[in-house]
């Protein structure tokens, strides 16, 4: 069954994406802030409607409602290829896998599913961006990046790494999000962009 209104669908997609990224559900206040709604009661009405349609379940725990997405509509989830591993640490050799995974459509933003793939994260160089070892990074397949974007960079055609990208003339800086690690500064000719980071899945423990 599908959500009855566009706003219900937006809320359902937001909840599914939030849970996928963080591993726990958003509060009513967080949902209200995301959509610029002043009243949590308005959000509660939409949640009630989604629950009646069997798309969300709720249970009360420690005085609060716990949300769970039971079944998103067909457009809310899509299959993308899981292609291998990427280092959030020292670059590692590209390793190719041949799998697909289901991800919330909301994680893709404006990107089309056929332009997106996933990589397993290895290491902790992006931990200050809450990108942790074992997470699955959602990547848009692009070969150009703007300064400050998180990219998958291929170094010398062999070693892949996940870092923030900055161009400095004829050089490229690949900057970690970990205060204990130094950035990589390389000739631009040695670095090729393989994709732009779009979202994160955190496997259940």
Residues with active-site annotation: 125, 163
User: Quick one: residue 128, left, alpha or beta (phi over 0 = left, psi -120 to 50 = alpha)?
Assistant: alpha
Distances (CA, A) of 205 to 23, 69, 135, 188: 10, 18, 11, 39
CB 188 within 8 A of CB 156: no
Residue 180: name the closest of 128, 129, 122 by CA: 128
Of 85, 86, 179, 84, whose CA–CA distance to 127 is shortest? 179
What is the Cα–Cα distance from 121 to 148, expressed in whole angstroms? 19
User: Using an 8 Å Cβ cutoff, are 131 and 162 in contact?
Assistant: yes
């Amino acid at each position: 069954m599908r959500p009855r209104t566009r706003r219900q669908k937006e809320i359902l997609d937001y909840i599914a994406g939030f849970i996928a990224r963080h591993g726990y559900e958003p509060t009513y206040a967080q949902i209200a802030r995301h959509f610029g709604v002043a009243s949590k009661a308005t959000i509660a009405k939409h949640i009630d409607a989604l629950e009646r349609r069997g798309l969300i379940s709720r249970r009360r725990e420690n005085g609060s409602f716990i949300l769970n997405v039971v079944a998103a509509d067909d457009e809310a989830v899509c299959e993308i290829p899981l292609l291998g591993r990427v280092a959030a640490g020292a670059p590692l050799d590209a390793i190719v896998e041949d799998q697909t995974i289901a991800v919330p459509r909301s994680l893709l933003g404006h990107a089309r599913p056929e332009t997106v793939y996933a990589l397993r994260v290895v290491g902790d160089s992006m931990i200050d961006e809450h990108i942790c070892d074992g997470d699955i990074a959602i990547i848009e397949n692009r070969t150009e990046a703007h300064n400050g974007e998180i990219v998958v960079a291929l170094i010398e055609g062999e070693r892949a790494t996940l870092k923030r990208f900055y161009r400095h003339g004829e050089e490229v800086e690949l900057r970690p999000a970990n205060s204990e690690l130094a950035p990589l500064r390389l000739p631009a000719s040695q670095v090729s962009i393989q994709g732009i980071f779009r979202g994160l899945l955190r496997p259940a423990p």
